[in-house]
């Protein structure tokens, strides 16, 4: 069956990006994405996983910006889930775009990090791995079923310094103070396949934008001076991205830190210099990322 893109989304994209770019975005949505994985360096090495994939006759391609990321060529995700390297938590199936926010946050040993919208734990476990289990991570998730899934993943992936909290992050005590916060916000999913689902509506976009704003306001409150927030969504709509960031920059004493150039990724224009918006394509979901420093 032909997939349909809603009139609402087309109109929004044309208004934001113009006709030509919108055509490219629309064809990006239609591309069937390759599965990709992240090697879990808490349990194995990139070489061991490459060897295992070759033994299982699974072709892969490397990615310029992360040696742990591998794009799978000739296999469906279901087949990967049958492999021991998957069952043992040596790999985590993760889209390429969604690996970037944790890399941008640069989690380090000794840092006190909050993951504000954490389940199923893809980025929490990635931050644990990037810091060699050296960062102290609080992973907050309000949905019980997703929270349970996250706890399972944390255990399976060997993320040992994570404190999992089942709570609405907007209600976290202001007494908390973190060095870094990852806010991978609940969003409309306008950069992903979610656009084909019946729940992709104007109301979803508006509700997401409201929650995103409330979450980022809480984030800035519970961040230490000089602390860093990485704000990300898998949406490419300005009401969930630039508008949310602009409002917080007006309200709080904070500034944008420029995200370093990441090779080989097609980007969409964003109206805030230093932020990044990834174009939906064969390899990437649409994603927005902003890095914010609290000045005072
Ligand atoms: N960061 C996750 C990962 O990489 O695996 C994906 C997070 S998903 C985009 C957003 C998550 O935020 C959902 O699991 C949703 O249930 C949760 N969420 C939504 N509102 C929340 C809130 N107010 N407080 C905490 N979690 C929330």
* DSSP states of 59-76: -EEEETTEEEEEEE-S--
Taking phi first (over 0 means left), then psi (-120 to 50 degrees means alpha), and beta for anything else, what does residue 220 get?
alpha
Q: Is the CB of 101 under 6 A from ligand 1?
A: no
| Same structural domain, 205 and 87 | no
Rounded mean pLDDT, 198-205: 95
Chain Cα centroid distance, residue 204? 19
- Asked if 98 and 284 count as a contact pair (C-beta separation under 8 A), the reply is no
Q: Is the CB of 214 under 6 A from ligand 1?
A: no
**What's the pLDDT band for 26 if we cut at 50, 70, 90?**
very high
Q: Please report whether residue 102 resides in a domain.
A: yes
Please report the atom of ligand 1 found closest to the CA of residue 233.
Answer: 9
Distance 256 CA to ligand 1 centre (A): 23
Q: In this predicted model, what pLDDT tens digit does every residue of 113-172 receive, in sequence order?
A: 999 999 999 999 999 999 999 999 999 999 999 999 999 999 999 999 999 999 999 999
| Same structural domain, 89 and 103 | no
Q: Please, what is the average pLDDT of the chain?
A: 97
Please choose from 127, 142, 148, 232 the residue to mutate so as to test ligand 1's pocket, defined by most ligand atoms within 8 A of CB: 142
**Which of 77, 93, 109 is where one domain is finished?**
93
Nearest to 113 by CA among 218, 211, 249, 230: 230
Q: Please report whether residue 10 resides in a domain.
A: no
**What's the pLDDT band for 258 if we cut at 50, 70, 90?**
very high
Range of the domain at 185: 97-294
Q: Please report whether residue 5 resides in a domain.
A: no
Q: Please report whether residue 9 resides in a domain.
A: no
| Same structural domain, 126 and 213 | yes
Q: Report how far residue 144's alpha carbon sits from residue 160's, in angstroms, rounded to the nearest whole number.
A: 21
Rounded mean pLDDT, 189-210: 96
Q: Please report whether residue 17 resides in a domain.
A: no
Q: Please report whether residue 103 resides in a domain.
A: yes
To the nearest whole percent, how much of the chain has pLDDT over 70? 99
| Same structural domain, 49 and 179 | no
Q: Is the CB of 117 under 6 A from ligand 1?
A: yes
- Asked if 161 and 207 count as a contact pair (C-beta separation under 8 A), the reply is no
| Same structural domain, 80 and 104 | no
**What's the pLDDT band for 1 if we cut at 50, 70, 90?**
low
Q: Is the CB of 280 under 6 A from ligand 1?
A: no
- Give the per-residue pLDDT at 4: 85
Domain CATH for 40: 3.30.70.1170
- Give the per-residue pLDDT at 74: 86
Residue 2 has pLDDT above 70, yes or no: no
Residue 40 has pLDDT above 60, yes or no: yes
Strand, coil or helix: 292: strand
Q: How many CB atoms lie within 10 A of CB 106?
A: 14
Q: Please report whether residue 14 resides in a domain.
A: no
Q: How many domains is the chain partitioned into structurally? A: 2
**CB-side exposure of 281: number of CA atoms within 13 Å?**
13
């Amino acid at each position: 069956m032909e997939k349909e893109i809603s009139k609402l989304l087309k109109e929004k994209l044309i208004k934001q990006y113009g006709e030509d770019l919108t055509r490219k975005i629309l064809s990006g949505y239609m591309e069937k994405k390759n599965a990709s994985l992240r090697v879990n360096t808490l349990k194995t090495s990139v070489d061991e996983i490459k060897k295992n994939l070759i033994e299982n006759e699974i072709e892969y391609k490397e990615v310029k910006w992360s040696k742990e990321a591998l794009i799978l060529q000739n296999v469906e995700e279901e087949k990967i889930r049958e492999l021991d390297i998957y069952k043992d938590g040596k790999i985590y199936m993760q889209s390429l775009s969604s690996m970037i926010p944790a890399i941008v946050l640069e989690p380090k040993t000794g840092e006190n990090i909050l993951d504000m919208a954490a389940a199923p734990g893809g980025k929490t476990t990635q931050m644990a791995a990037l810091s060699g289990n050296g960062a102290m991570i609080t992973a907050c998730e309000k949905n019980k079923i997703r929270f349970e899934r996250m706890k399972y993943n944390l255990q399976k992936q060997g993320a040992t310094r994570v404190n999992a909290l089942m709570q609405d992050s907007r209600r976290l005590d202001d007494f908390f103070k973190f060095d870094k916060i990852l806010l991978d916000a609940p969003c409309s999913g306008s950069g992903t396949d979610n656009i084909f689902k019946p729940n992709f509506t104007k109301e979803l976009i508006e509700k997401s934008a409201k929650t995103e704003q409330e979450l980022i306001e809480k984030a800035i409150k519970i961040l230490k001076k000089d602390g860093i927030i990485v704000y990300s969504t898998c949406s490419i709509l300005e009401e969930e991205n630039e508008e949310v960031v602009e409002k917080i920059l007006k309200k709080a004493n904070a500034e944008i830190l420029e995200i370093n150039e990441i090779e080989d990724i097609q980007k969409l224009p964003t109206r805030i210099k230093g932020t990044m918006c990834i174009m939906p394509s064969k390899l990437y979901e649409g994603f927005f990322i902003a890095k914010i420093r609290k000045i005072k």
